Structure 1
């Protein structure tokens, strides 16, 4: 048996209609393992812009939906299906056999904030359910397009969920169901909006109203207000990132009040394999937030932006970005600079 990263490092090809190589933002906690959310969750400001651009239309052709019209859990490369890939990507201490199927590990179901070490209880939920997508426009797609949608590992479409919470959601939209864990509701509704926007899917009027309400309530937006805070800073002091090492860079902020629930971090790194890079943000009080987890993904890092709920933190103080190259035997890189808006 071997760990997930060493098996598929730089070996996973992407089967998707959209490529968004960012990873979701997570805070380190006292949970039994590190919680990881899907990649590509946008900022509240971006989600608001995307929601405003969606076409409002009553769902169509729901009576012709069949799950088999969306070939799902297809191979995404490295001998892994989309389901196996997500279990490896978003799990902790995952051990797999030669067939890529996880044999052991821990998985967090963010919807209900439950950890499980039982593989069969770690189901994969399509944030925009296949039935919902069908009625929102996927009925007009080709089979290949529906397959790409059902196996999209690069957008925030695939989430780990316990069997019970996945069943409770079914094919409901945010007007009908929201995760019982309120801490994930902002990211959930941003992910929902982003997937609908990526695939040019429609929303019905009740769905759009509910999404707007949830953005306002859980993400701090107000009809277009990004709610990312007005206390900002940046650092352009370059740091060399050597293999297996961690580099740090600080930004000192002086402003009153708490940080925003939709604070943003933008990081510019030169590195040939962004999956090698792990990025943490350390708050003035010492709390650590995982900005990007290492993964098997390849491709240049470049400039990447992330959203994090820092509402429990004071805005003022010294914030520290910690960047680690987790892979030995690969490429070195450079932290060119970063900015923070809290």
Structure 2
């Protein structure tokens, strides 16, 4: 009887192994990004009517405590650390010293963290116009501090970020010609990740850019 029971339990345990192993694999597959040719990705963006009624920057809480609230690094600091070409020293309360960064908008090397802005690839006001006005405060905070997709937040020179302000690609593009395909790809990825719409002029400009960016892809995951 005991031997029979032991054999039954062993068989039961073996039967469970494939199921247990399948769970991490399924989770890994779920986290894999969708990758599309840029023309296909841009064409899939839904066109909508934009409205800035009711917008206020304060409706998007940022910067919050980042990935690890106990380390003193807010979202801005997390992006600076992640995107550094030469790693800065991280001191008390996440004070950053040294380091260097590549501002791809203007193809400039920046060696002072204070000379960089963290750009929301799709600016907060543009996100509001494109669908975020219907979100609750928690989702707007998640958008403003999105560390789940590298293209959502980017460290660039303060000068170029402030030149961009809240403009879409029909109104502003990076001054470096070599940045255009990456910028169009990352803008499209951010809109697809968050289910945001585009206006007609914006989509036309993105399609124009895509036509000159053969071989460029758009990779995105859907926001939780």
TM-score scaled by length of structure 1 = 0.51
Closer/same/farther in 2, CA of residues 66 and 164 from structure 1, 3 Å limit: same
CA RMSD of aligned residues (A): 2.2
Q: Name the SS for the 2:197 alignment partner.
A: coil
Q: Higher relative contact order by CA 8 Å / sep ≥ 6: 1 or 2? A: 2
Q: Name the SS for the 2:206 alignment partner.
A: helix
Q: Name the SS for the 1:72 alignment partner.
A: coil
Q: Distance in 1 between matches of 2:66 and 2:160?
A: 26
What stretches of structure 1 move > 4 A for 4+ residues in a row? none
Q: Name the residue aligned to 2:53.
A: 63
Structure 2 contact 101–109 (Cα < 8 Å) conserved:
yes
1:188-267 counterparts in 2 under 5 A? 188-217=183-212, 219-220=213-214, 228=215, 262=216
Closer/same/farther in 2, CA of residues 184 and 43 from structure 1, 3 Å limit: farther
1:256-335 counterparts in 2 under 5 A? 262=216
Q: Name the SS for the 2:174 alignment partner.
A: coil
Structure 1 contact 96–104 (Cα < 8 Å) conserved:
no
**Offset at residue 143 of structure 1 (A):** 0.5
Q: Name the residue aligned to 1:293.
A: none
**Offset at residue 184 of structure 1 (A):** 1.6
Structure 1 contact 71–146 (Cα < 8 Å) conserved:
yes
Q: Name the residue aligned to 1:81.
A: 74
Q: Distance in 2 between matches of 1:77 and 1:188?
A: 25
**Offset at residue 154 of structure 1 (A):** 2.2
- For the pair 1:180 / 2:180, whether they are aligned, the reply is no
Q: Name the residue aligned to 2:139.
A: 145
Q: Distance in 1 between matches of 2:166 and 2:197?
A: 15
Q: Which segments of 5 or more consecutive residues in structure 1 lack a partner in the other structure?
A: 1-19, 23-39, 221-227, 229-261, 264-304, 306-342
Larger Rg: 2
The one of 83, 88, 92 equivalent to 1:94 is: 88
The one of 111, 115, 118 equivalent to 1:124 is: 118
Q: Name the residue aligned to 2:62.
A: 72
> Per-residue displacement from partner, 1:156-209 (whole Å, max 9, x unpaired)?
110111111011001110111111111121111111011111111110000000
Q: Distance in 1 between matches of 2:54 and 2:181?
A: 32
Q: Name the residue aligned to 1:111.
A: 105
**Offset at residue 43 of structure 1 (A):** 5.3
Closer/same/farther in 2, CA of residues 72 and 43 from structure 1, 3 Å limit: same
